[in-house]
Amino acid sequence: MSLSDWEPVIGLEIHVQLKTNTKMFCGCELSFGEEPNTRTCPVCLGLPGSLPVVNARAIHYGLLMGEAFGCEIAPRSIFARKNYFYPDQAKNYQISQYDTPLCAGGHLGDVRLNRIHLEEDAAKLVHLGESGRIHGSEASIVDYNRGGTPLAEIVTEPDIHSAEEARDWLNLLRVTLRQLGVSDVNMEEGSLRADANVSVRRKGETQLNTKTELKNMNSFRFLMQGINAEVKRQVALREGGGRVQQETLHFDPTSGKLNTLRSKEEAHDYRYFPEPDLVPVVPTEEMRAEARAALPELPAARAERYAADWDIQQDTARLFAFEPDWGDFFEEAATAAAPLPARPVANLVMELRGRVDGDDPLATPVSAQAVAGLARLVEERKTTAGNARKVLEILAKEGGDPAAIIEREGLGAMADDGELAGIVAQVIAEHPDVVERIKGGNAKATGALIGPIMKATKGRADGGEVNRLIRQQLEL
Amino acid sequence: MSELLELTAAQAADAIRRGEIEPDALWSAYRERAVADELNAYTWVAGAEPPEFDRSSPLAGVPVAVKDLFATEGIPSQAGSKILERYRPPYSATAVERLTGAGATLLGKTNQDEFAMGSSTEHSAYGPTLNPWDTGRVPGGSSGGSAAAVAAGTAPWSIGTDTGGSIRQPAALCGIVGMKPTYGAVSRYGMIAFASSLDQAGPFTRDVTDAALLLGVMVGEDPRDSTSIRLPGPIALPSATDLDGIRIGVPEELTGEGIEPGVLKAFEATLDVARELGATVEPTRLPHAPHALAAYYILAPAEASSNLARYDGVRYGLREDGADLLSMYTETREAGFGAEVKRRIMIGTYALSSGYYDAYYGRAQKVRTRISEDFRAAWESFDFIATPTSPTVAFELGAKLEDPLAMYLNDFCAVPMSLAGIPAISIPNGLADGLPTGFQLSGPAFSENRILDAAHALEKAIGFDGSKARKA
């Protein structure tokens, strides 16, 4: 038996901070690194007598996600109190959703969603002393700036079967949410947090086995490390005749190991009950229509469209879909270059993307029209593919007109006037040893001729034409 | 001076607007009495300097006393608890802002059962409040300080909160008017919560007209309280002098066993008055009402167990340092909460626990629904439901402290209306053995104006004299 005999079964629970102006249940502005406890009010500090009021924008974002993922929207969605004592909750309960979340079901790609619900984020704790945790710390201080930030919790069904799939799906989710405009979805900054529920089963089996919950994997790398480590642990355990215990595990990024946070017996009883300070959220048809109208084209749909309408490579289509600014740029260039095929245009855009910093094509001085023009010049053999890259490099630095740059820099293709044939003949004459090797059956030796030819033509020669001429003159 | 104190609040407001009395004199007269109060009705009394107000406003310059649990900016708001000792909030409750916005001046904060849990004001960390009719007796609770202050004439009027009778029962035991409006009519923002789905603020006054005037200022939808509602129209000053065509139902379940004979006698006398005023009075049934108390003592503690979780020593109020986080929590709460609060937190925590939720909380919610349905059925035949407010007159201090169930039973007649969220008023309707009794009139949601009108007609006909308590 080995790892390959087992199938990991993975479900993700993702928390995303919503990009609203104000907090989930009060009018405090969201905090981005302000002085501690400056973005607070009686409500998010849980002062006696204060009451929560639901942020309408957060509901809109929830509906936006629900519509985008084809979820069922609850006709009456109810907030509940999740009771637990910890200083990161000012009220010692979190207002969350329990048995009637805003969105149920739906899917993204081929992963089904279980639910999406809204809740409030916890405050930030800093523990002074060596332990770094509340137990054994000399003192712990609380910054309530983050407390009350709107969160959406997205829970998938256990439809994921490897760490790589988990990473890819999470990336698709991240790009989708970013395009929906509901969140910054930045794992490093904590606006996207993923927990994973992991179990394993023998390949071919369909039942769900006891799972463990993995927490604190705050980067894509850690997510994969954590899942892989846990799958390995569970497989070893099962193959050794042991049983997986239901528990919550904490990923330690320094060691890459998983430590038990709490066992099933230590699981909290959150004593959920309907939040009596809030009335049910009843999404009207108008609210839902508003959400539908606000839906942008999402990555999965965009990638399909690019591959189908423009006939470009799957990988490129996916990349343009995941980076919609580049996607838009490509579409503009491809449209301008039509009826030229889109593939060479896509290649030039990819080339350009590799040469500029940041992901914003508008931050470069290159216009989509210039890229289209360059593609046309290559197609018309006014310049070579190799020189086009040089033109692009200049365009990326200073912008301008590709034809003018070709003229100025002497990057045009050689005119078909016999000059190239002459150069080829001369190089052949200068390298009799190479010619001998070629004639002796070593086709690869041709490369030793191409180098000097390109040098002599300053790169203006078309590689295909050079090859053709060599073969012609050597009568191959 | 005594003439000033004999004015009702509405009369005083009128006189101030007409320039007949000096608001500063009214302020000083009441403030002196509040400072000299020997009933322990106040936990805080304002300084001598009369507060600013706008003379053209409806409550211009009439002082008001406010139950301790209303947050008042910069002023102690302790909810009768040691855990909030000396706590001064950075903001004021909406209800308080509406009063001061209408020109009322904040005279003092009044004593109460800790976190509004109790029916005698003996469960206050700041000592019990005494009943001005007999200082050996309780004023009722939980808003006992607000009731005693008005009854004793140390305040012209006051506000309190009612979760399961905490306005109506002390009003009855102190011989004054107390009203709990429809749930949501007055914003709960800034009211230190006991049980969120039941807590409702309302007025304590000497007469029904004052109750209408004060309530009219308190009500209104509040963007800071999602459960607040807008009443269909403003609260009008009552003018009715008869009950022609009014149908009053008397539920068997709330007017039989357990009601003291003196209370029952006064109740029946008032029903006769109602008939004389033109009303029809008939027996009716509220079949689930006997279960109201049981349901209430699941639901209210359940909500309270969560509402009171925030008192942990981390942010405000009392903190008892402990060796670690858990011991800080437990030692703070052990030292800060009284026995009754602890009892209810225990009950509520248990009722919400995994595995027990359906049997307790879920079932109690079903009872609550049934009780609402009982009332809805009654409104098909009746305009109002009448009951005694409290089954007893004011009892002796300490009489029920060791017997929580006996204490709970004092709200037997008041709790069903709280669970149904409907408005109810208590007016004084006589004396039994020299102690006041209360008559409770409840109606459908939003029927405040009709209740006030009917209560006004009854009040005039009953002619209760509460001045004896004010002389003390």
Residue by residue, what is the 3-state secondary structure of B271-340? HHHHHHCCCEEEEECCCCHHHHHHHHHHHHHHHHHHHHHHCCCCCCCCCCCCCCHHHHHHHHHHHHCCHH
Interface of A with B in 80-109 (CB under 8 A): 81, 83, 85, 87, 90-93
Looking at the fold, whether A88 and A184 belong to one and the same domain comes out as yes
Q: What pLDDT does A417 receive?
A: 62
In a domain, A455, yes or no: yes
For residue B472, name the pLDDT band (cuts at 50, 70, 90). Answer: low
Predicted confidence at residue A416, as pLDDT, reads 65
- pLDDT at position A307, please? 87
pLDDT in tens, B235-260: 999 999 999 999 999 999 999 888 99
Separation CA A467–CA A469 (nearest Å): 5
Rg, C-alpha atoms of chain A: 30
Q: What's the CA angle centered on B417, arms A272 and B300, to 5 degrees?
A: 25
Question: Which one of A293, A316, A340 terminates a domain?
Answer: A293
Domain boundary among A409, A442, A462: A409
CA A404 to CA A414: how far, in whole Å? 16
Residue ranges in chain A modelled with pLDDT below 50? none
The mean pLDDT value of chain B amounts to 96
**Average pLDDT in the B428-455 region?**
98
For residues A159-173, one letter each, b for 16 or more C-beta atoms within 10 angstroms of the residue's C-beta and e for the rest, the string is bbeebebbbebbebb
Residues A236 and A362 in one domain: no
> Residue B1: pLDDT band by 50, 70, 90 thresholds?
very low
Predicted local confidence at residue A128, as pLDDT:
85
User: For A239-266, b where at least 16 C-beta lie within 10 A, e where not — what string?
Assistant: eeeeebeebbbbbeeeeeebeeeeeeee
Written as six digits, the tokens of B122 are: 């003996």
Are the C-beta atoms of A201 and A234 separated by less than 8 Å?
no
Give the dihedral sign, CA A333/A334/A338/A344.
positive
Distance, CA of A396 to CA of A352 (rounded, Å): 7
Question: Residues in chain B whose beta carbon is closer than 8 A to a beta carbon of chain A?
Answer: 69-71, 77, 79, 84, 87, 89-91, 93, 188-193, 195-197, 223-227, 302-303, 305-306, 309-312, 314-316, 324-325, 329, 349, 352-354, 357, 361
Tally the residues of chain A: 476
* One domain, residues A221 and A364: no
In a domain, A361, yes or no: yes
- pLDDT class of B138 with cuts at 50, 70, 90: very high
Distance (Å, whole) CA B277 – CA B197 = 36
Active site residue B372: no
β-pair type (B247-251, A107-108): unpaired
Nearest 10 degrees: CA dihedral of B453, B459, B460, B466? -140
* Spatial distance between the Cα atoms of B198 and B193, rounded to a whole number of angstroms: 10
Return the residue of B nearest to A91 by Cα. B310
Structure tokens that stand for B337 in this block: 């909460």
The strand pair at B384-388 and B435-442 is best described as antiparallel
A50 contacts in B (CB within 8 Å)?
A: 91, 189-190
Radius of gyration of chain B (CA): 21
**Statement: residue B435 has pLDDT above 90:** yes
Say if residues A276 and B194 touch (Cβ distance below 8 Å): no
Question: Which long-range contacts does A287-291 make (Cβ < 8 Å, 24+ apart)?
Answer: A287/A59, A287/A60, A287/A63, A288/A63, A288/A67, A288/A73, A290/A60, A290/A63, A291/A60, A291/A63, A291/A64, A291/A66, A291/A67
The parent domain of residue A393 ranges over 299-409
Report if residue A276 sits inside a domain: yes
Q: Which residues lie below 8 Å from residue B153, measured CB to CB, with a gap of 6+?
A: B5, B33, B469, B470
> Would the CB atoms of B352 and A85 count as touching at under 8 Å?
no
Residues A331, A432 within the same domain: no
Q: Which among A356, A379, A409 is the end of a domain?
A: A409
pLDDT digits (tens, 9 = 90+) for A367-388: 888 888 888 888 887 888 778 8
- Is B28 one of the annotated active-site residues of the chain? no
Instruction: Please give the share of chain B, as a percent, with pLDDT higher than 70.
Output: 99
Query: In this structure, how many other beta carbons lie within 10 angstroms of the beta carbon of residue B257?
Result: 9
Residues A289, A205 share a domain: yes
DSSP bridge partners of A250: A215, A259
Q: Which residue has the higher pLDDT, A135 or B89?
A: B89
Residue given tokens 């030229």 in the structure block: A340
The whole-angstrom separation of Cα A3 and Cα B117 is 61
List pLDDT tens digits, range B340-383: 999 999 999 999 999 999 999 999 999 999 999 999 999 999 99
* Domains located in chain B, CATH noted: 2-240+448-471 (3.90.1300.10), 290-365 (no CATH)
> In chain A, how many domains are there?
3
A429 touches chain B (CB under 8 A): no
Residue A378 · residue A400 · CB < 8 Å: no
What pTM, to 2 d.p., does this model score?
0.89
CA atoms lying within 13 Å on the CB side of residue B258:
18
Lowest mean pLDDT across A147-161, B232-246, B399-413, B440-454: B399-413
Residue B105 has pLDDT above 90, yes or no: yes
